[in-house]
Structure 1
Amino acid sequence: MKLQWDHIIHYIDGLDSFEFPDQLLDIHEGGRHEQLGTFNYLSYTDLSYIEFIDVFDKERLKKSVTGEQRLSFAATLERTVYQEGWKRLCFRTDDIEALNDHFISCGLSTIGPSQMSRTKPDGQVISWQLLYIDDDRMDRELPFFIQWGEEDESRHEQLAPLFQPLRVVDITLMTQNKNQFIQNWTDWFNAKYDGNQLLIPDGPIFTLMEGDKESIEAITIAGIDHPSIEVHGATYHFQA
């Protein structure tokens, strides 16, 4: 069972008319999550990506975020009152059932794995399974976990034309309880801790800040020489 960073979600109100400033990132139309009332655009670096998300039907979303969907990314939008910015992290695995067993062995409750899908503009249906940690004691939006319906090799072949010569090298997270945060990530996700950084293989560094809230603060993208910018509530840093 492996665990890798898959994507980060950035909520933008008015996504259908959005262009990334100075066209620093290529953005491609993703599709619609019909059952959730959301749609997305995607910016790939490799198999990992930034997901820009918006809502086409808030009433549908509100009705959908019950039961297994109460921990979904769509429910996060509702809980944060549609405030723009960074929302959630997602990690991918090659064995979501084994990951579920691991979380249960850690004393955690889970929701899933549950089957999901979306329809691309060309009519192709993309499917995946999702898993959530169900812990009411947490005061942050926890990462969630995905297993795609196709192997990485097949997805790489299909998506390679969309890849940019860029890499997300750092994701900065703020927490009110640094020690507990580190303990959770090392126990649950097998992360390694080094200084103020949490490390998961084949992904960005997760830099921890201690502060007055639980949040995703910023990402750093390598391969672009440009000053830092704030885009619809989300901070982007760049390095050449």
Structure 2
Amino acid sequence: MLAIDHIVIASNDPEKSAHHFANTYGLSTVSGGNHDSWGTYNHLCFLGNGCYLEWLGISNQEKATNADNPLIQQLSIHLNQRGEGVFQVALRTDSINSFIHHFRENDIPFQGPLDGSRKKPDGSILSWRMLFPSGQETLPFLIEWGEGSMPTSKETNNEFLSSVKIGVNDREKTGERFNQIYRLQDNHAEWKLTNSELLLTDKKNMEIKIGATIIQDF
């Protein structure tokens, strides 16, 4: 079963963006760390149901431009073409190998798995693997954390991520694709994950709901 792991937000200044969000909504945020090989860094907001928001920015343009990681490529495109804002959703799995098998068996194109790591402010290293299903539209990617590597924080907020809405052109068609790719069975518009809800909407911008507060493409 999948869970919402984190929401990725493109930012020219992750710390400034995260602090503005924290002041606006009364939530705590923390420094994440550096992805040295990709030329990026982040700032985070941990929520009470095992997920978080990630403001992701570029610290080394040359490394980011040459990165073979689809997420970093998507970040660069979003910042260049649309500016700051939500651009990706990570879905957590504890068996990324089963999805690789599923994709191959069903001729679903994908990139990965790609290894990732970052150094936390305390010097410790987090590690993970990512899998990117391919398509004309940007699809959520899958993440599997290494043993003992799932990020946590003493600054975790009590508020829960209630839902994530992804804007699509055709909910029925895209819902069928989501069912095929992610093995979700509820219906073609919404799915209950282990910690939240994933929904498709006709609105163009991504929308998240924290508790009763709706936040659109911030």
| TM tier, smaller | 0.7 to 0.9
- Amino acid of the residue matched to residue 209 of structure 2? T
Number of equivalenced pairs: 212
Checking the alignment, whether the CA contact within 8 Å between 2:38 and 2:63 is kept in structure 1 is yes
In structure 2, how many angstroms separate the alpha carbons of the residues matched to 1:47 and 1:229? 19
1:95-117 C-alpha deviation (Å, 9 max, x unpaired)? 11111111222211222212111
1:55-101 C-alpha deviation (Å, 9 max, x unpaired)? 1112221022x4xx2x2x21112222161101101111111111111
Out of 174, 186, 206, which is 1:217 matched to?
206
- Amino acid of the residue matched to residue 159 of structure 2? L
Checking the alignment, whether the CA contact within 8 Å between 2:208 and 2:215 is kept in structure 1 is no
TM-score under structure 1 length normalisation: 0.79
Larger radius of gyration: 1
1:159-190 C-alpha deviation (Å, 9 max, x unpaired)? 26332111111112211122221101112212
Residue correspondence of structure 1 range 29-40 to structure 2 within 5 A: 29-40=31-42
Give the structure 2 partner of residue 17 of structure 1: 16
In structure 1, how many angstroms separate the alpha carbons of the residues matched to 2:172 and 2:116? 34
Q: Structure 1 residue 183 and structure 2 residue 176: aligned?
A: yes
Out of 79, 89, 101, which is 2:77 matched to?
79
Q: Structure 1 residue 56 and structure 2 residue 59: aligned?
A: yes
SS of corresponding position for 1:192:
coil
Checking the alignment, whether the CA contact within 8 Å between 1:38 and 1:53 is kept in structure 2 is yes
Deviation, structure 1 residue 120: 0.8
Give the structure 2 partner of residue 133 of structure 1: 133
Mark the CA change 1:90 to 1:229 in structure 2 (over 3 Å): closer, same or farther.
closer
Checking the alignment, whether the CA contact within 8 Å between 2:39 and 2:59 is kept in structure 1 is yes
Residue correspondence of structure 1 range 1-240 to structure 2 within 5 A: 2-18=1-17, 19=19, 20=21, 21-22=23-24, 24-45=26-47, 46-64=49-67, 66=68, 69=69, 71=70, 73-80=71-78, 81=80, 83-135=83-135, 138=136, 140-150=137-147, 155=150, 159=152, 161-194=154-187, 197-210=189-202, 213=204, 216-222=205-211, 234-235=217-218
Mark the CA change 1:229 to 1:131 in structure 2 (over 3 Å): closer, same or farther.
closer
Deviation, structure 1 residue 41: 0.9
Mark the CA change 1:86 to 1:16 in structure 2 (over 3 Å): closer, same or farther.
same
% identity of equivalent residues: 23
SS of corresponding position for 1:171:
strand
- Amino acid of the residue matched to residue 112 of structure 1? G
Mark the CA change 1:63 to 1:221 in structure 2 (over 3 Å): closer, same or farther.
same
Root mean square deviation, CA, Å = 2.3
Unaligned runs of 5+ in 2: none
Deviation, structure 1 residue 5: 1.5
Unaligned runs of 5+ in 1: 236-240
In structure 2, how many angstroms separate the alpha carbons of the residues matched to 1:40 and 1:86? 14
Deviation, structure 1 residue 229: 5.8
Deviation, structure 1 residue 51: 0.7
1:211-237 C-alpha deviation (Å, 9 max, x unpaired)? 5x5xx4211100x6x6x566xxx24xx
In structure 2, how many angstroms separate the alpha carbons of the residues matched to 1:107 and 1:12? 34
